[in-house]
Amino acid sequence: MTIDTTIKDLLANQAMPKQVKIVEVGPRDGLQNEVPLGLEDKLGLKDKVALINSLSQTGLTVIESGSFVSPKWVPQMAGSAEIYGLINQINGISYPALTPNMKGYELAKQAGVKEVAIFGAASESFSQKNINCSIAESLQRFEPIMQQAKLDGIKVRGYVSCVLGCPYEGDIDVSKVAEVAKTLYRMGCYEISLGDTIGVGTPAKAQAMLAEVAKQVPMEHLAIHFHDTYGQALANIYACLQLGVSVIDSAVAGLGGCPYAKGASGNVATEDVVYMLNGLNIEHGVDLTKLAQTGAEICKALGKVSNSKVANALLASS
């Protein structure tokens, strides 16, 4: 089987990375799905700003901080423009925002955002139900953003959803994932994040998917974004590290979830990822103690217990 041969070749020729970049998505992807609809006031602007400022002190270099979408569709992300005006932006740290359309891009630019993110899906059903258009149509909508961002000198990151499974279609053909990722890369996205949106992936499937995408997009331009619904996220990350991926998306305290997956417990916790990387002697630059404290603070504001096993263990022993 071609995929198996590709994996063997990658394992034979690619050592684990010596250094990993962690993309912290808690303030956007985490909080967006953490606060139930109708309870947007549960977490105030002050809490969101405090979270981002605290994360900025942990050694993280990328903190996804907002989403310029219509408050009608995602009320949890209302106030993103105000957030960018209030946070203490530190040199050397990127604070990207999600911009699903040209209007969102323009609002983000007005707020001083220096990096934006766009997203496509590897599932036609998910694309239709989530944004009411086909995959091809969704990608076409991003062309004006890519053109303007190039003129403005703003970096664009691409996301691909449902790379290991869809709540409507089930298993997803890895060739479809590779096709969407290749399109985003050719459009000008400097990095493509591969998302297991509903958290159903397992290590072998994660490796097979990554190996197939790496045929179309250089590994150094790929990132992994795994949810932990079935407790497989860390194992999936480890499997992909073996193939040479060096960018990992995660959320402090395991914030998040997915409204399309029953029982989804959220993104993989950044604390758990950092602890694993420490054990593998892979550099990442993040202070685990400060990170766990930050997670505890946002969980207190949310009135919930952290989803990070590492953070809970550390705080219980301190």
Catalytic positions, written as ranges: 258
What's the distance, CA 31 to chain centroid? 12
> What is the number of residues in the chain?
318
- Rounded Cα distance between 78 and 108, Å, is 13
Which residues 6+ apart lie within 8 Å of 68 measured at CB?
A: 77, 80, 81, 97, 98, 99, 100, 103, 104, 105, 107, 108, 111, 113
Handedness of CA 210, 214, 219, 221 (dihedral sign): negative
Q: Scan for tokens 């480890």, then name that residue.
A: 238
Closest alpha carbon to 202 in 176, 178, 230: 230
- Rounded Cα distance between 41 and 283, Å, is 38
Closest alpha carbon to 284 in 241, 312, 248: 248
Instruction: Render the burial of 35-69: b for 16+ CB within 10 Å, e for the rest.
Output: beeeebeebeeeebbbbbbbbbebbbbbbbbbbbb
Closest alpha carbon to 297 in 14, 65, 6, 54: 54
Closest alpha carbon to 271 in 60, 12, 53: 60
Q: Scan for tokens 């079935």, then name that residue.
A: 230
Q: Scan for tokens 């086909």, then name that residue.
A: 134
Handedness of CA 178, 184, 187, 192 (dihedral sign): negative
What's the distance, CA 308 to chain centroid? 17
